Amino acid sequence: MNKDVEILVIGAGPAGLSAAIEAARYGADVLVVDENDKPGGQLFKQIHKFFGSRRHQAGVRGIDIGTELLNEVQELGVEVMLNTVAYGIYPNDEGVALCVDGETGMIVHPQKIIMATGASENPLAFPGWTLPGVVGAGAIQTMINVHRVPVGKRVLMIGSGNVGLIVTYQLLQSGAEVAGILEAAPALGGYGVHSAKVRRAGVPIYTGHTILEAVPNEDLSGIKGAIIAKVDERFQPIKGTEQFIEADCIGIAVGLTPDIALPSMARVGFTNGGRLGTQVPLHDRNMMTTKDGIYVAGDSSGVEEASTAIEEGKLAGIAAAEALGKMDAEAAAGAKAKVWESMNQLRTGPFGDGRAQAKEEIIRKMDEWKVENNAC
C-alpha cells in the first residue's frame, strides 16, 4: 500500500501534535503516525500543573493540555494513525516504511517529515539494578496515573530533578509511602515549587547520598530495600556511612536520552548536545536537520520539557508549511518570531538558561555545517 502526503509527522506527543496542528492550520495535508494505541505521548501521565507563565499554560495539568491538543487535531481534521510504527526511512525519496497493527505494511511518500520521537529513560548501574522492582520513574508515573496500579508499598526515589520530585509527589497522591529521595549532589535539583511540595509532605531527603546496592528478597523476585551511603566531594561513597533503607520498589530518575533511531536512519548530522543529550540531531531555528525537508522537534531534538516540545513542534510545523509554499516568507517569519519569543521565556531561570545555551550551541554548529556545505 502506498500513500502520498505533504507532511508526515512521526510521534503524536506534545511536539508532534503541535507540529501537525500548526501545519494543518496553514493548509498543509498532514498525516500523524504513532506506535502507541493512544495519542498524547507522555502527556496523559502528567497529572501535575505545569510551571511557567500563563501563556505557557502554567497551572494547567499535562493531561488537560493533551486533551486540548487532541481536540484541535480533530477540529482541523488531521489524520492520526495509531498502532503504527515508522520503522524505516529510505534515501532518495523512496519513502517511509510503516507497519500498521503489527501486520500491514505501508510506504508513505511525504514531501516533508517531522520527527518527534521522544526520549527513553536512563538506567543507573549498581549491584541489583536488574532486579524486578528497580524501575524508571516515568514507568512509575505510567503505572500509577494511567493504569492505576500500585508499583509498591514503599518506594525509594533515586534522583531529585523535576521527574524525581514530581513522581515522588504523585506516589504520595496515589497512596504509596515514599522511603526517601536520594541525591548525590549537595542540594535537591528541580524547580522550587516541586521540591517544596515533597519537603512539606515530610519525605525523607538524602542529599549527598548514593545507592550502593539494591537488596533482593530470598528468591530474587523483587527487592526488600537498598543500601545507601554518604558521598564525599568527589561523589565517592564514604566508608562507615552505609545504611539500609527498606523499600519494595526503587524509582530511577536520572535523566532521559533522545530517541534518535529514525533520524539516524535518515543519516542526518548529529552533535553532542551536552545536557540535552549526548547525541542530538543538528538543527537550525526552523528545527530542520542537515537533510533538506527533515525536521525534528521535542525531546528527540534534545531533552527538555513538554512546554518547550510544544513550541518546537510549532516551529517545525510552520517551517514545513512555509517550505511547501502554504504561506509567504513574511507571514512565516512573524509566526516563528512569536513562537521564539515564547520559547525564550521558557528557557530562562537557573535551569532554563543552561538549556538555552545548549540549544544555541546546537544551532551554532548547524550554522557552521551550513557554511561548510554551502547550504546557506
Partner 1 sequence: MSRIENHIILGELEEKKEVWITVDGKKIPAREGEPILSALLANGIKVQNISAKKHEPRGYFCGIGRCTNCVMTVNGDPNVRTCVTLVEDGMVVETQDGLGKWEGQE
Site for partner 1, rule CB under 8 A: 35-37, 42, 47, 61, 120-121, 123, 130-136, 138-140, 142-145, 147-151, 173-175, 219-222, 259
Which of residues 42 and 84 has its CB atom nearest to partner 1 in the complex? 42
CB of 72 to partner 1, least distance (A): 23
87, 222 in Cβ contact below 8 A? no
d(CA 315, CA 318): 5
What is the number of other CB atoms lying within 10 angstroms of the CB of residue 358? Answer: 20
Which of residues 37 and 328 has its CB atom nearest to partner 1 in the complex? 37
231 SS3 class? strand
CB of 32 to partner 1, least distance (A): 18
Which of residues 47 and 323 has its CB atom nearest to partner 1 in the complex? 47
CB of 219 to partner 1, least distance (A): 8
Which of residues 47 and 203 has its CB atom nearest to partner 1 in the complex? 47
Grid cell for residue 346: 521558557
d(CA 189, CA 95): 43
Which of residues 149 and 329 has its CB atom nearest to partner 1 in the complex? 149
Among 281, 335, 339, 350, residue whose Cα is nearest residue 309: 339
d(CA 374, CA 376): 6
Output DSSP code: residue 285.
T
Output DSSP code: residue 45.
G
CA dihedral 202, 190, 151, 140 (to 10 degrees): 160
270, 260 in Cβ contact below 8 A? yes
Which of residues 135 and 335 has its CB atom nearest to partner 1 in the complex? 135
d(CA 314, CA 70): 15
Which of residues 68 and 121 has its CB atom nearest to partner 1 in the complex? 121
CB of 94 to partner 1, least distance (A): 27
Widest distance between CA atoms in the chain: 68
CB of 222 to partner 1, least distance (A): 5
CB of 362 to partner 1, least distance (A): 23
Decide the pairing of beta strands 223-230 and 243-246. Answer: antiparallel
Among 184, 194, 263, 186, residue whose Cα is nearest residue 228: 184
Give φ, ψ of 183 to 5 degrees.
-145, 125
CB of 182 to partner 1, least distance (A): 18
Q: H helices then E strands: how many in the chain?
A: 9, 19
Which of residues 166 and 321 has its CB atom nearest to partner 1 in the complex? 166
CB of 149 to partner 1, least distance (A): 4
